[in-house]
Each structure stands twice: as C-alpha cells, then as structure tokens.
Chain A
C-alpha cells in the first residue's frame, strides 16, 4: 500500500502538471504520513540529498558551460567543425553533429549544447536553404553526444546515485567510444537525408582555413584535455576539475577572447543559477523518495521479480531498456537517473552487467528521452530555437530516432564498446 501511495501520488501529480520536484516531495510526504514516520524526515532527506560531495561538480560544469556559451568558446568550436565538415553533403548539419562532439566535451549538458549550437547553426542552416525540420532534428539529436563525452555531469550524477563507489574517471572513459559511434551514425544519417532531399554541397575552405579555425578553437579544445588528463593523472578530483573548468573558461573568455563584459557575466550567473536550481532541486527532492524506496525494499523486490523471470540475460536487459525508455518519454534525465539507478542497477548487477557499462546505457537511453515527447527538455529548447512546433519536428525526426536507438542497442549488447577504453587506460 505504501508503495502504491509513493508511486501513485507522484504519477497523478506529475500528470496534473505539478513540477517533478514538488510531485516527488508530495508523494514522499504522503507516504511518510501513511507509514507513521516523522514528516520532518522529508526536509532532513532533501537537504541531505544535496549533501553529496560529487554533486558539487554539476553546478560548476553548468556554470562553465554558460561562460563558454556567452564568452566565445562555443562560437570557435563551431567554426572549427564548420571548416572540417562543412563541405560534406548536408554540410551545416554535419557541422552541428561535430560541434556537439567538441562543445559537448566542455559543456557536459545536452541542453547547453542545443542552445549554444542550435542558436548559432539553425538560423544559418535555414538561410542556406536547409529545411527547418532537418536543421532542428539533426541539432537536437546531436546534442545527445554531449551526454557521453567527458565531462558528463549526468555520469557524475549516476555515480552518486549508485552509492558513490563507481570511479568517475572510468565512467568518463566509458562514454567516449559510444559518443564517437553516435557522432558517426548521426553524420551518416544526416548525409543520407541530405542526399535524398538534394541539399547542395559547398566548397572545402582549404587547409589554411582549417588550421586557422583550429588555432582559434584551441583554448576550448584544450579545456577538454585539461579536464580529462587532470582527473586521469590524479592532479585533481572530478569535482575540482569542474572548478578548474570555470576558472579556465573565465580566463580564456576575459583575457584571450575578451568577449565577456560585466553585464554578460551577470547574465551568465543568473542563467547558471536558474539551471542549477532546477536540476539540483530535483536531485534533492528525489532523496526522500529514494530513501522511502529503500525503506520499503522496492529495489530488492525488483531484483527478485526480474531475476526470477526465467529468461536469458539479454532478454532481461532488453526488458529493462524498454521500461526505462517508456519512463524516459515522460521523465527528464536527472530525475530519471536519480530515481531509477537504485532500482535498476541492482537488477543489472544481478544479471551480470558491469555497473560502468550500465551507466553508459542509462545515460544514452535517458538522453533519447530528452528528444521524445511528451516531456523532453532538448525537444522543447530545440524546437523553440528553430521556430517550429513539436509536431512539425516529430514528422521527420524518425530516421534520427532509429539511428540513436540503433546505437543504444549496439552499446547495450556489445559491452566492449563501453568497457574497452576504461580497461585500456588502467
């Protein structure tokens, strides 16, 4: 009964339009009262939920991403991608995909990606004769790459939700090959669509132009290297690397690019604070919900149920993916990770899936949820920037859905795609 109240109140309130965080708090409070537990546990757990050290990296990466978006780093990363692949068929679409690989590495967030890259690319693509829906769809799907290239604050969140025992360096390394695979798949998809729709091909700007763009983008690219090498070489922790990213991005934008004026900086602060509040408050309000799940022994029951189904490991994994995909259609990534990790990770472990591998699956799968209706933040931001309705985007997005689902299946059933690189770097 308590479990029914916990899930029932949450789902009903969510459906009625109560924001996720408040739906989580309401259902937790109702369940505490039903169980005769002191209701003050709600606030104790909420504050404790934001009291995990690894979470400090999340707002700092969000902050660094905002600085890069407004301070010129993202612009130059896009210019580099443009000089490299702008001449391929689907030109600027390919640029969007490659920019996501570069910029996603520093911003760590799909929403920052779609705002920064979409904001710069979509209008240009439309101006040069691409259809709006193509411009929006390719940019939105490409933003998923950001979730998997290090740093990924979602992988940090996963590590925390898994109890903090998973190495963030390993998780970061595990995301790289799947990110490259996704990039490649999306570039091919974009190429095929561009060919069918007969988009023109542009001229290659020449190696000098590529080199010039590369030099201009170097400070931004160096940030990715700085973070990755710094953590791997034990110079700093993942949390400290986020602070280094903020300092570095500020130095580059203020002293090298000289773009960030005081008013821009204040806007950057407000933007970062707003996103931080939305993401972290969901994480914090999910803490009591998660505590009640554990208290009511739901994860153990889920493990029991799923491991007693007499089925093949891969079938069970597929069932889990389908459940998670269904949840992902109406849940955002952060709450999905926070709520589902304690339930599904024990099941995954019980059927022999490596927790690092499972993390990559979970993030990629949750990422697909960001571009599916009814609730998808990347879908909302992308269509808003592109000036089209969600319905218009959905009519022609299916090849991109298929492409990302194909990558999800490959990543799910070929563990080596995720686990090979972390093992190599050890």
Chain B
C-alpha cells in the first residue's frame, strides 16, 4: 500500500473524501450489526431472516466503493511505484499523470456503465429483500464518479507548474 501523506488539495474535496470514508465506516458498523442480528434471530427468535446476507453484501459494496474512491485521494491503493520513484523528476511526473489519467478514465466508465446496469435491473426485486436486484451497482456508480473527481483533482495538482513532488 502506498502510504504517502494525504495531498494538499481543495478543502471541499477533502471534506468530500472524508464523508465518503466515514460513510464507508458507517457501512462497516451496519454490516457488523446485520450479521450479529442474524445470529441473535437464529438462536433467540428461532427465525432466521433471509434479508441479512443481501443487505450485508450491499453494505460491503458501499464500504468498498466509497473506501476505494477516498483511496484515490489518500493514495491508499496497492501498487508498484518503484519505477516512478526512481525515475528522474520529469519522467516521474509523466508517469504520475499517466496513472491518474487511467484512474480518471476507469472511474468515468465505471460510473457510466454502473448507472446503465442499475437502470437495467431496477424493477426486479432481489431475493430475500425488497431492494431492487441491481441495487448492488449503486455504490460502485457513486464510487466510480468520485474516483474520477479525485483523480482530476490530483491531475490539476500534478500539472500545476509550481507543484513539488509530494513523495
């Protein structure tokens, strides 16, 4: 995991990343509660609810997508950065810009196709819940859009003429 310090950036985007991270954290709390409820209901109520697994998976998707999106800004994604770190500054900067562009492009297509898939299965019920079958695509679509936004922020910072290497 790359563990560089969070970069300097726009305060509004910093707040956005923080809210994404805390929403993901709240999803983790809810996941623990939902799974613990399944155990409680099985033994104490002797009636296992069918909704816990699909709901926990939806929360998992939420934690993953928002955590990963904030990770673009916090640079917490796994990677192999030795070449970029060893290269002379102009090359290193070109490599960084390239990586950011890849992230931005993928974030955009994830958001677009995610919405398409979301619409596709919206009217069908997911087994065990009243959620739409395609609800699983909602967090990923939001996450994809945020990835694109945070990548663009990093791009602006990287291309700024006075930008110094944050590493």
Contacts and interface: CB of A to CB of B under 8 A. Distances in A.
Contact of B28 (A13, A273, A278): A273
A56 B31 CA distance: 8
Q: For this complex, into which size category does the number of interface residues on chain B fall? A: 35 or more
Contacts of B149: none
A360 interface: no
A63 B24 CA distance: 11
A8 interface: no
Contacts of B24: 273, 276-277
Contacts, number: 214
Interface in A274-326: 274-278, 280-282, 284
Interface in B77-111: 77-84, 95-96, 98-99, 102-103, 106, 109-110
A380 B3 CA distance: 8
Contacts of A46: 110, 140
A219 interface: no
A9 B96 CA distance: 17
Nearest to A62: B28
Chain A's interface: helix, strand, loop or mixed, by majority? helix
Contacts of A1: none
A270 B22 contact: yes
Contacts of B145: none
Interface residues of A, number: 64
Interface of B: 1-3, 18, 21-22, 24-29, 31-36, 38-39, 53, 56-57, 60-61, 63-71, 74, 76-84, 95-96, 98-99, 102-103, 106, 109-110, 113-114, 116-117, 136-137, 140
Interface of A: 13-22, 25-26, 29, 39-40, 42-44, 46-47, 50-51, 53, 55-56, 59-60, 63, 111, 235-236, 239-240, 242-244, 246-247, 266, 268-270, 272-278, 280-282, 284, 330, 332, 334-335, 373-375, 377, 380-381, 384
Q: Which 4 A-B pairs have the closest CB atoms?
A: A277-B67, A269-B25, A243-B35, A273-B24
15 contacts: A13-B102, A17-B99, A19-B2, A19-B99, A20-B77, A20-B79, A21-B78, A53-B57, A59-B28, A60-B28, A246-B32, A269-B21, A269-B28, A273-B63, A277-B64
